[in-house]
Amino acid sequence: MTAELRALNARFINNFITNNVPSHDAILHKDFICITPMGARVGRADYLKAWATGFDAERIPYYDYRDEVIDVFGSTALLRSTNKRVGMKDGVETVTMTMYTDVYVHENGAWKCIQAQITPVAPANYPPDETIVKKYVKGKAQP
């Protein structure tokens, strides 16, 4: 069960890096909602529309996910991890991390993400590089 959820998390991130809307749509629950770092609630349709252009390797030359923790409670799973992103804007590099909690429900034999919530992480709480699960440089997965 945990291996299946790890694979879904990897797919979730890869869908972001590749702007793959059909693959992402397939893992979202019909009632999916995203809660942004600013507290806005974004419904499924608007979320998927933004997903199509959410990642740009020129704007985000480095991206990883790390510190992955999965807990299963019957037919509900909490999948928590942290993203590190290096952003480039007007030649200025910024480093930020956000923690996400994705809530999955198991229905009709499949796990579907019903909610994603994203929270900014203060530098004092950045998880160390040893916890990196996968990293991407200019949109390409690194070994």
Measured from the Cβ of residue 102, the count of other Cβ atoms closer than 10 Å reads: 24
What's the pLDDT score for residue 138? Answer: 95
CA distances in angstroms from 137 to 120, 134, 140, listed in the order given:
22, 10, 5
Is the model's pLDDT at 27 over the cut of 90? yes
68/99 Cα distance (integer angstroms): 10
Domain ranges of the chain: 2-141
Phi-psi region of 91 (alpha: psi -120 to 50; beta: other; left: phi over 0): left
pTM: 0.93
What's the pLDDT score for residue 89? Answer: 82
2-141 carries CATH number 1.10.150.650: no
Of the candidates 81, 61, 62, 63, the one whose C-alpha atom is nearest the C-alpha of residue 71 is 81
Give the pLDDT band of residue 9 (cuts 50, 70, 90). very high
Residues 6+ apart with CB under 8 A from 24: 12, 15, 16, 48, 51
The string of pLDDT tens digits covering residues 80-125 is 999 999 998 888 899 999 999 999 999 999 999 999 999 999 999 9
